[in-house]
Structure 1
Amino acid sequence: MDVEPDVRFEFVLVLKGDPRGIQRLPDSFADYVAGDDRPRTMHLREAACGYYRWIVDVIYDARGKMYLNIGWEKFARHHGLQAGFILLFSYFGDRDMSVKVFDETRCRRDTTATTRRTTSVLSSQRTRARRFLDVRLIGRTNKGTILPLDFPV
């Protein structure tokens, strides 16, 4: 079991509209991290999953409002975020944050299991594609593989 470092600040974000679009963070959080010289990036990871971090650019508008920008889309896409999902952010300092994802049923999502299933499906698709190629190959020469004339490239 992973042990989380001491949490300095937590907040909840309810996704509205396009969950992969720019996301505004709470003003109280922006005020809190303003003492840290307004970070330009945050390092996001799924809670209890320390092996992968997404570097997400942070931007501020003229009024000092804080937004997650470039890099957020990849995080959102990887975790299958949708409008209505609830995210619990935990800030540990030094731009390090973890995120717990709750779906429309208000239950926490295990995106690591989703990732494993997706990887497994992709792996089996690659295996089937290799079998197809092995069957369709005519031969090999020192200049490469010989494919049938009707082989879709």
Structure 2
Amino acid sequence: MRSDMKPEFFKIIHADLFTTEQLRIPPDFLKHISKDESGIAVIDEGPDATYSWHVQFCRTEDGMFLTDGWKDFVRDHSLGKYDFLVFRYEGNMYFTVAIFDQTGCQKDVGFNKRMHQKLGSSSGGKHRGRPLKTLIEVPRRRVGRPPKDLPLLSQVRGRSPSRRMPTEKEKADVWKAATAFTSCFPYFIRPLYASSVYISYVVNIPADFARTYLPTRKTEFVLEDHLSGRFWTLNFNPGTLNSFSGGWPTFVLDNQLEAGDICIFELTGKWRMRIHIFRACQTTKAHF
């Protein structure tokens, strides 16, 4: 294999081999995956893919397996007997996959993905605020750009609070509500301080979370509000203080965030996060 080529392995789908329940990664391939990598793999069909799947991987005495989420991937792609999958490891627990059927031709699975999207959106009312387990739509266009008439960052720095400060009971209540949140996706909780919403307009990311799940270079993320479905773009800055900056001021203003509020950032796709806002005082409404 040339040094500039990404490592690959292939698998053949067959129910009798239990490859529709879980998928064993070839033992010799494990040398390409650090033991320190996270327990969640992201799988899609390459740079032009519309969707990504999060699949848990598990190390056992018998080897390394793709487990939780794999059956969803099999279902969404209508994988059947003798379908042939070629996995390419892009690094940082991100795999691209090419799927071929028994004719030797690449398989078209777009219909099933569209159907799954419809089912997911139709059931959203019943599971509000919770994402589909493994099917994630990743917009490829640059959404959420602030309109030209929004104030410049220099104009919003140092803004004053627009509501009263929360009481100690309100702080305790909002923290209790936020910490009750659960998800099958990786997430972190970030209480908002004055510096994040009035002065510097930077939100820091826990070092352990950034080291485990986020890229090591400056990257643009798509941020989706779980209630409204609106999108913003943020700049992720790795380093000693991992943080979101560019785009964060617009999000703060659009949602009228204040010190004392708590945000949960949920990693739902490659360079995509869903945000949940817990307000310390229920007196501020986001403007749209």
Tell me what 1:56 maps to. Answer: 55
Q: Is the 8 A contact 1:102 1:109 kept in 2?
A: yes
Return the alpha-carbon distance in structure 2 between the equivalents of residues 36 and 61 of structure 1: 12
Question: Per chain length, whose mean CA-contact separation is higher, i.e. which structure has more relative contact order (CA < 8 Å, sep 6+)?
Answer: 1
Q: Distance in 2 between matches of 1:56 and 1:26?
A: 17
Question: Which residue does the alignment assign to 1:102?
Answer: 100
How far off its partner does 1:20 sit?
2.5
In 2, the alpha carbon distance for the partners of 1:49 and 1:72 equals 21
Equivalent residue, structure 1, for 2:32: 32
| Identical-pair percentage | 28
**Contact 1:19-1:81 within 8 A present in 2 as well:** no
Aligned: 1:88 with 2:86: yes
| Matching residue's letter, 2:39 | R
Aligned residue pairs total 113
1:16 to 7, 14, 17: 14
Give the 3 Å change call, closer, same or farther, for CA 69–75 of structure 1 in structure 2.
Answer: same
RMSD value over aligned CA atoms?
A: 2.4
Deviations 1:113-151 (A, max 9, x none): 5545x57xx9xxxxxxxxxxxxxxxxxxxxxxxxxxxxx
2:72 to 63, 71, 74: 74
Structure 1: tracts of 5 or more residues without a match:
1-5, 123-153
Name the CA distance, whole Å, in 1 between partners of 2:55 and 2:95. 11
Gaps (5+ residues) in structure 2? 120-288
Distance 1:7 1:78, change over 3 A: farther
TM-score computed with the length of structure 2 as normaliser: 0.36
TM-superposed CA distance for 1:48, in Å, is 4.7
Secondary structure (helix, strand or coil) at the match of 2:44 reads strand
Superposition TM-score, scaled by structure 1 size: 0.64
